[in-house]
A and B are shown apart, each in its own frame.
Chain A
Amino acid sequence: LTSLAHKRIIIKITILFFGFGWLFFMRQLFKDYEVRQYVVQVIFSVTFAFSCTMFELIIFEILGVLNSSSRYFHWKLNLCVILLILVFLVPFYIGYFIVSNIRLLHKQRLLFSCLLWLTFMYFFWKLGDPFPILSPKHGILSIEQLISRVGVIGVTLMALLSGFGAVNCPYTYMSYFLRNVTDVDILALERRLLQTMDMIISKKKRMAMTRRTMFQKGEVHNKPSGFWGMIKSITTSAPGSENLTLIQQEVDALEELSRQLFLETADLHATKERIEYSKTFKGKYFNFLGYFFSIYCVWKIFMATINIVFDRVGKTDPVTRGIEITVNYLGIQFDVKFWSQHISFILVGIIIVTSIRGLLITLTKFFYAISSSKSSNVIVLLLAQIMGMYFVSSVLLIRMSMPLEYRTIITEVLGELQFNFYHRWFDVIFLVSALSSILFLYLAHKQAPEKHMTP
């Protein structure tokens, strides 16, 4: 196959990934909103496409598809494009959309978005100082400079998500942690909520009637706003006005209470649904998985602590070590080279697919929770940025899971980064994240049951 044919294959696959990103965006993320700026959708799909192409090149490396010079070329090309997107394109557009939301700065949008981008670049560059990520022989404008910083951010994100996920997964799967919620509890809380609403309504009725009588008498209610407003309201005597402000304060407090009750009721409904689900076959299966994952989580925390305390970084990858163990201790003889290639492929493939899927699901949940119709553009671009950085750092870390002969291309392309630093950094942040998640979940779990369980 000529190199032109190689290029065509890789371009076709990239376009395929672009299509996936586009569909995901339309069907999942922006299900309930209208896409007004198509540039956002394009940027998201492009980031997704080039990130996935990187993973695909790793797979090609393992399987030996195409020849190594064209693989190297495409690696370099892909990396340049992705760095351009993550450092120049996406941050600029994030700044642009943030500025567009603010009415005051609307006229000089471009100017302010450039300013925001320059601020971002400054902090991004400063990020490299406290970390020993580069050897001194690098110039100032090279791929290594950019990638090292992107790697730090991405690895931090990965470790945070990983730590939280490792703890949260058994917590949600296992039914041991499910609080006991009965229909009676839910009804009691709903009754309290409706009572609060009724109290709010009766106060608002008084306010509406007072306003109407004042309007008919010709008085006007000025809400005391600002310092001078409050001084004025002391000197003028309008008893209707005073009453209104007092009642308004009571109403504000009641409305805050009603919001709290609403959220608690929603929480109880969710717990009840989970209890129902745990009684089904699927629920029982997940419960069992939960026990398995909790053991895995404890093991990972243990290993991270050992790595940090004894200052060791794994020298061999799991595949080679597994094969060594089977050959040496179990005495099974088989073709090492053949099997190591295929097992690496499967292992790396699984890691890639689960991390992509896990990330997309987390991003979607996050997006639904915090976005509104005004901020949806900014949030999607932030998510695209996170996704790109996450994938780039996955490539850095996945190097450890591959046998030596396949690591060369990553090392060649990414240059002389201190890979060991990234693994150490990952372990530290993972440990911190996992322990704080345990603390956080423990506190949340302890606090909830006392509030509204029937005795």
Chain B
Amino acid sequence: MASLDRVKVLVLGDSGVGKSSLVHLLCQNQVLGNPSWTVGCSVDVRVHDYKEGTPVEKTYYIELWDVGGSVGSASSVKSTRAVFYNSINGIILVHDLTNKKSSQNLYRWSSEALNKDLVPTGVLVTNGDYDQEQFAENQIPLLVIGTKLDQIHETKRHEVLTRTAFLAEDFNAEEINLDCTNPRYLAAGSSNAVKLSRFFDKVIEKRYFLRDSNQTPGFPDRKRFWGGTLKGLHYD
């Protein structure tokens, strides 16, 4: 079995929004029968065809790292979680459409993952306020996914979808809204599947094809884009 190249994508969000169900759906094309609490981090792998249907089509492994917990966790838990934020190539932010707090907490989640190298002890210095500049210079592709769409009543749908559109704009990201217990939302050819494919393609592009020309191709890039300490713990 040939060894494929791989990219690492974080899946972040409050507990109970449906990250585990989402990851299971993305990787195994099946609905997760018995979701239970995620302790620490659970990983799954999706095989993705980059630039499918074109002559340069290539298959990659996409590792989806589903990090459990809440934004209000103790700082020791946050420091432990920080070990998973090494060399990430993309972030999927998951929120629950029926729970406004989970959408608001996405700002704090993204700060925690993106600010990782700036604060060595892993404890957040900011109070979680949204910082426009930080997202403007962010180079890691983001995707916002809203879950539990089936539980939103028809009459409220428009209002909820407007709110999430603003949210995705803040992150400068695409958004997908679905129900993790129904695979038809990600059926091949649907607009959601196209957005997902585009996102993964973008992640792969940033990782493998948009480097400095004086870097040797094929060697893993260990330094973070905006500087930071070298963390040599991750085996490639």
Task: Check A372 against B235 for contact (C-beta < 8 Å).
Answer: no
Task: Check A212 against B47 for contact (C-beta < 8 Å).
Answer: yes
Which of B14, B27, B72 is within 8 Å of A373, CB to CB?
A: B14
Shortest Cβ distance from residue B7 to the other chain A in the assembled complex, whole angstroms: 12
In the bound assembly, the distance between CA atoms of A430 and B16 in angstroms comes to: 38
The interface residues of chain A lying within 8 Å CB-to-CB of B76 are 266-267, 269-270, 272-273
Given contacts A200-B43, A205-B45, A209-B1, contact A265 B80 (CB under 8 A): yes
In the bound assembly, the distance between CA atoms of A204 and B77 in angstroms comes to: 26
Given contacts A33-B101, A262-B80, contact A194 B72 (CB under 8 A): no
Whether B170 sits at the interface, judged by CB under 8 Å, is no
In the bound assembly, the distance between CA atoms of A195 and B39 in angstroms comes to: 17
Task: Check A258 against B61 for contact (C-beta < 8 Å).
Answer: no
> For window 289-328 of chain A, which residues contact chain B by CB distance below 8 Å?
none
Which of A201, A261, A263 is within 8 Å of B63, CB to CB?
A: A201
* A contact residues, range: 35 or more
- Secondary structure dominating the interface of A: helix
The interface residues of chain B lying within 8 Å CB-to-CB of A205 are 4, 6, 45, 61
Q: Report 9 cross-chain contacts, Cβ distance below 8 Å, ordered by A residue.
A: A195-B235, A255-B42, A262-B40, A263-B40, A266-B80, A273-B75, A368-B72, A372-B37, A373-B17
The interface residues of chain A lying within 8 Å CB-to-CB of B233 are 187, 190-191, 194
Given contacts A201-B45, A201-B63, A205-B45, contact A31 B72 (CB under 8 A): yes
Whether A232 sits at the interface, judged by CB under 8 Å, is no
Binding site for A on B (CB under 8 A): 1, 4, 6, 14-17, 27-28, 37, 39-47, 61, 63, 70-72, 74-77, 79-80, 83-84, 96, 99-102, 105, 233-235
Which of B15, B83, B100 is within 8 Å of A193, CB to CB?
A: B83
The interface residues of chain B lying within 8 Å CB-to-CB of A209 are 1, 47
The interface residues of chain B lying within 8 Å CB-to-CB of A258 are 40-41
| Centre residue among A206, A207, A208, A267 by max chain B CB count within 10 A | A208
Shortest Cβ distance from residue A23 to the other chain B in the assembled complex, whole angstroms: 17
The interface residues of chain B lying within 8 Å CB-to-CB of A190 are 80, 83, 233
Known A258-B41, A272-B76; further 20 A-B contacts with Cβ < 8 A: A32-B101, A32-B105, A34-B102, A190-B233, A193-B83, A194-B235, A197-B41, A204-B27, A204-B44, A208-B45, A208-B46, A258-B40, A262-B40, A263-B39, A267-B76, A269-B77, A269-B80, A373-B14, A373-B99, A374-B16
The interface residues of chain A lying within 8 Å CB-to-CB of B1 are 206, 209
In the bound assembly, the distance between CA atoms of A32 and B106 in angstroms comes to: 12
Task: Check A194 against B43 for contact (C-beta < 8 Å).
Answer: no
Shortest Cβ distance from residue A148 to the other chain B in the assembled complex, whole angstroms: 39
Whether A211 sits at the interface, judged by CB under 8 Å, is yes
Given contacts A198-B235, A262-B41, A269-B79, contact A208 B15 (CB under 8 A): no
Task: Check A194 against B45 for contact (C-beta < 8 Å).
Answer: no
Whether A259 sits at the interface, judged by CB under 8 Å, is yes
Task: Check B83 against A265 for contact (C-beta < 8 Å).
Answer: yes
Shortest Cβ distance from residue B113 to the other chain A in the assembled complex, whole angstroms: 16
Specify the chain B residue showing the minimal Cβ separation from A267. Answer: B76
The interface residues of chain B lying within 8 Å CB-to-CB of A208 are 27, 45-47, 61
Task: Check A32 against B235 for contact (C-beta < 8 Å).
Answer: no
Shortest Cβ distance from residue B100 to the other chain A in the assembled complex, whole angstroms: 6
Given contacts A32-B71, A265-B83, A269-B80, contact A201 B105 (CB under 8 A): no
In the bound assembly, the distance between CA atoms of A373 and B14 in angstroms comes to: 9
In the bound assembly, the distance between CA atoms of A14 and B100 in angstroms comes to: 32
Task: Check B71 against A266 for contact (C-beta < 8 Å).
Answer: no
Shortest Cβ distance from residue A93 to the other chain B in the assembled complex, whole angstroms: 21
> For window 350-381 of chain A, which residues contact chain B by CB distance below 8 Å?
368, 372-374
The interface residues of chain A lying within 8 Å CB-to-CB of B77 are 266, 269
Specify the chain B residue showing the minimal Cβ separation from A30. Answer: B101
The interface residues of chain B lying within 8 Å CB-to-CB of A34 are 99-102
The interface residues of chain A lying within 8 Å CB-to-CB of B41 are 197, 258, 262
The interface residues of chain B lying within 8 Å CB-to-CB of A259 are 39-40
Which of A32, A212, A255 is within 8 Å of B72, CB to CB?
A: A32
Specify the chain A residue showing the minimal Cβ separation from B79. Answer: A269
In the bound assembly, the distance between CA atoms of A263 and B4 in angstroms comes to: 32
Specify the chain A residue showing the minimal Cβ separation from B61. Answer: A205
Task: Check B47 against A32 for contact (C-beta < 8 Å).
Answer: no
Task: Check B16 against A373 for contact (C-beta < 8 Å).
Answer: yes
The interface residues of chain B lying within 8 Å CB-to-CB of A195 are 235
Which of A206, A207, A273, A372 is within 8 Å of B16, CB to CB?
A: A372
Shortest Cβ distance from residue A336 to the other chain B in the assembled complex, whole angstroms: 50
> For window 240-262 of chain A, which residues contact chain B by CB distance below 8 Å?
255, 258-259, 261-262
